[in-house]
Amino acid sequence: MLWYGVRFRSKLENSASAAVSADAVVPPKTKTKTKTKTTSWCDNVAAARSKLEPDLHITYPCEELPAATSAIVCFLTAGVEEGKGNGIVFSARDYINGALALGASLQKHLTRPDTHRLLLIRKGFAVPPEDMANLRAVGWTVGEAPAIQVAKKYTPSFARHTTTYTKISAIGVSEYKCTLLMDADALAVDNIDELLSCDIFDRAEYRVAGTLDYYRSNWEHFNTGSVLWRNDAAEMNRVYALTKNDTFMRRFGSDQIFLNNVYPDRTNRAKNKLILLDEDGSKTRESWGLVARLPWDYNAQTHVEVQLPKYWEEHLGKVKIIHFTQKKGWQCPEMYGRPSAEEMPDVKCKVETPLCACREGYRYWNFLREARVKAGIDIAAAAPQK
């Protein structure tokens, strides 16, 4: 017998014709394992940022993360020593507590599995190890942001804004379709899953989605305390180049004012009023320019509570993100329920009044308490001394 995959058996030579019988006896086939190359999230990050300027790279432990469509980012860029904060500058403890409360609020109001939550600490700003552990306990992946610094002659004079140009680096995390930047003085108070689909960027020209700011008694500029970026490395490089361009640059009051000069589509007050009145965006869409309209629901600025109380009351029921602009959550009286009618200040209250611009401050204290419980912090020990 000869084996070549099939066994042949010979008949007698004196047969009229040699008949060949083929009994198909096939040895078992060995399955060949095909090696499939798996792409990690770190591979995606490297590929997406291959053309990003080296000075602009945000780093975080990408090897720990699954693939994602979008991200929420919060930056910690500076803070004075605890006990030395005031109405102009705040302490590192204030900002860390703000990030804890924000993290707890996102755990409640963000359920998308394809959205990462990145807490980015500016290079050179130290956060104690125990705080890093607490921040991770409320869902943050902690990373590092570049220390973007503009020339001294262009550095904002307001002390709180001297380090905040770092926040523009959020544009460059191009491994994501979009990134929601939320400051540590903001909270999610209702579900924000829909926004993080990035579907708001349904036109090629949109670079950012921003909510109108009530700025110096006018609806002017988009507010960057809660703002959705369409991520792109090339656009990040362009914006960064502008910070070094003496023809473009001046001493802008903040990174927000800088960005409203980069994207000046919300500087026309008359057009802004029409956008404000257009609740679903259908009538003014053609006038948005590079800045897609982000509804007020996603950046309800608390100074409007005092300056435009009627507008505030009319829209409060639909709000998804509260942004503490007049007074930060940590500046509001510590309380864990909505103020009673007797406690409520006058509609046109003076800022010095404890509850003025703080009607929603209880939300901050509730989320901070939740964060402390999740982090295993002794609530009694963490309470401010009175």
Residue 6 has a pLDDT of 30
Residue 28 has a pLDDT of 56
Name the E strands within the chain: 7-9, 21-23, 70-76, 115-122, 141-145, 178-182, 186-188, 208-215, 218-230, 291-293, 300-301, 321-323
Sheet holding 186-188, edge to edge: 186-188, 321-323, 300-301
Q: What are phi and psi of 376, to 5 degrees?
A: 75, 25
Distance CA 210, CA 299 (A): 9
Taking Cα atoms as reference points, which of 258, 80, 31 lies closest to residue 166? 258
pLDDT category at 5 given cuts 50, 70, 90 is very low
Reported residue count of the chain is 386
Residue 147 has a pLDDT of 97
Q: Note the pLDDT tens digit of each residue in 77-127.
A: 999 888 888 878 999 999 999 999 999 999 999 999 999 999 999 999 999
Residue 53 has a pLDDT of 97
Q: Note the pLDDT tens digit of each residue in 155-176.
A: 999 999 999 999 999 999 999 9
The amino acid occupying position 332 is C
* Contact (Cβ atoms closer than 8 angstroms) between residue 128 and residue 82: no
Residue 19 has a pLDDT of 39
Taking Cα atoms as reference points, which of 133, 170, 140, 208 lies closest to residue 58? 170
Q: Note the pLDDT tens digit of each residue in 244-253.
A: 999 999 999 9
Q: What are phi and psi of 91, to 5 degrees?
A: -85, 160
Taking Cα atoms as reference points, which of 167, 195, 162, 198 lies closest to residue 181? 167
* Contact (Cβ atoms closer than 8 angstroms) between residue 333 and residue 359: no
* Contact (Cβ atoms closer than 8 angstroms) between residue 235 and residue 207: yes
Mean model confidence pLDDT for the chain = 90
Distance CA 29, CA 43 (A): 36
Residue 18 has pLDDT above 90, yes or no: no
Do the bridges between strand 218-230 and strand 178-182 make them parallel or antiparallel, or are there none, so unpaired?
Answer: antiparallel
Q: Where are the alpha helices (H) located in 282-352, listed in sequence order?
A: 303-307, 309-315
Distance CA 95, CA 126 (A): 12
Q: With pLDDT > 70 as the criterion, what percentage of the chain qualifies? A: 88
Distance from the Cα of residue 362 to its chain's centroid: 23
Q: Note the pLDDT tens digit of each residue in 324-361.
A: 999 999 999 999 999 998 999 888 899 899 999 999 99
Strand partners, 9: 21
Residue 39 has a pLDDT of 80
Report domain extents, the chain: 42-376
Q: Span 274-285, mean pLDDT?
A: 94
Q: Span 216-231, mean pLDDT?
A: 97
Of the candidate CATH numbers 3.40.50.1970, 3.90.550.10, 3.40.640.10, 3.30.70.20, the domain formed by 42-376 belongs to 3.90.550.10
Q: Span 215-240, mean pLDDT?
A: 97
Residue 9 has pLDDT above 50, yes or no: no
Do the bridges between strand 291-293 and strand 218-230 make them parallel or antiparallel, or are there none, so unpaired?
Answer: unpaired
Q: With pLDDT > 90 as the criterion, what percentage of the chain qualifies? A: 82
